Structure 1
Amino acid sequence: MAPPPKKSRPKLMLPSARFQRSFIAAMEEFAAEGRCGDDSMIGKDMERFGPSWRTPEGFAAFLAKLAAVRHTPPHEKFVCSTTWWWTEGDEFIGRIAVRHELNARLLEAGGHIGYDVRRSRRREGHATRMLAAVLPKARKLGIGRVLITCHPENVASRRVIEANGGVFEDQRADLLRFWIPEG
């Protein structure tokens, strides 16, 4: 009897059509949580692109948008950002985006990094490992200290940030602000 296939380790990947089926399944999990149209990157992407993700052309347009914003902000209120997907084999587990700089809005709410893990893969340590994996990429983009925010009731996200060296600075409006020092 052959040994079971070796399971791949999760890793950061640039968004790819290879993950379309799993990505759509993950977005259905986020939609079931009421995320479509909320004030997050996933919520906004679901609202804008969700109906077209099932076609190869629609998914390609979404991937092109993610690639373009690495070099050109979509409009004057935004900054360049790079999105990576946290994947295992052909499975989309989550996404993490690094904003290349902070504008006044992001300094107050949003910070440099935002991340999401699909519901079916939460509580497995993915967010902590995903953030740890992206910090060197943020440094290569020239970001020294990294600002990350979360809602006070999001204890899991706070633990992820603190596990990666985040130091609480203050609360502004309804968000806690943490800085991960250079290094």
Structure 2
Amino acid sequence: MTPKQGRRSSAPGVRGISAVRLPPGIGNGPAGQLRPATEQVRLSYVAALREYQAEGLYPDLNPVALSDPAAFRAYVHRIRQAADSSVQLPPGWVPESTFWWIAQDRYLGRLAIRHRLTPALQRRGGHIGFDVRPSARNQGCAKRMLMAALPHAARLGLEHALLTCDVDNLASQRVIFACGGELIDRTDGILRFTLRTSVDPATTGEHLGETHP
């Protein structure tokens, strides 16, 4: 799935951007890495997709098809390509860099950073969206992902990132507030938050990040 308006996406990491691993002190979940999409977690990603689809999410993705190594390789390529601002996109779509949260070759979640916003994304969707696979929830993964993503958002020129969630999505609200988000407003059942991307490295663990090509 590629980025459109405020739609969920399973899209890519930024070409050439390295992984960031946070120290154990940040959050309570597994000490994973925020990495661009990679073929190395194909089986785990497919298993996570089945978990999502049991909840009615990502119905347009086919786990059987993506089980094939060649199909998954092409899928990863499309995800990465979505971050390339020189690629022609359909009207209403924007370049989007998506990272996967990975711990010991297990796919745990994804986070997307949209490089710019359409009027629709300003209302719902924002710059950053994230989700965690059902079997990895309530372990601190979302907070770790979001904190690790802030330096990448800053490198894209985003001094403040806009995040949105439904008013009844208490889990996302807790994560956003825990990472320093501030509520802007509430409109039509949607909460909008602003989050500074230039945070103290001692808080994010950015200076301790382990990088991989």
Counterpart of 1:146 in structure 2 is: 161
AA aligned to 1:82 is S
- The reply on whether 1:92 has 2:107 as its aligned counterpart is yes
TM-score normalised to the size of structure 2? 0.75
Counterpart of 1:67 in structure 2 is: 80
- The reply on whether 1:36 has 2:58 as its aligned counterpart is yes
Counterpart of 2:13 in structure 1 is: none
- The reply on whether 1:56 has 2:69 as its aligned counterpart is yes
- The Cα of 1:125 is off from its aligned counterpart by 0.5
For residue 107 of structure 1, the aligned residue among 115, 118, 122 is: 122
Distance in 1 between the 2:102 and 2:61 partners?
23
- For structure 1, the 5+ residue unaligned runs are 1-7, 38-46
AA aligned to 2:121 is L
For residue 35 of structure 2, the aligned residue among 3, 6, 13 is: 13
Counterpart of 1:162 in structure 2 is: 177
Sort the Cα spacing of 1:129 and 1:73 in 2 relative to 1 into closer, same or farther, 3 A: farther
Higher RCO by CA contacts (8 Å cutoff, separation 6 or greater): 2
User: For 1:68-119, what per-residue CA distance to the aligned partner results, in whole angstroms no more than 9, with x for missing partners?
Assistant: 1111353121110111100001100000010011111110110001111011
Q: Number of aligned pairs?
A: 167
User: Which one has the bigger helix percentage?
Assistant: 1
Counterpart of 1:129 in structure 2 is: 144
- For structure 2, the 5+ residue unaligned runs are 1-29, 199-213
Counterpart of 2:23 in structure 1 is: none
- RMSD of aligned C-alpha atoms? 1.5
- The reply on whether 1:80 has 2:102 as its aligned counterpart is no
Paired-residue identity, %: 36
Pick which of 70-79 and 89-98 moved more: 70-79
For residue 188 of structure 2, the aligned residue among 167, 173, 178 is: 173
TM-score normalised to the size of structure 1? 0.86
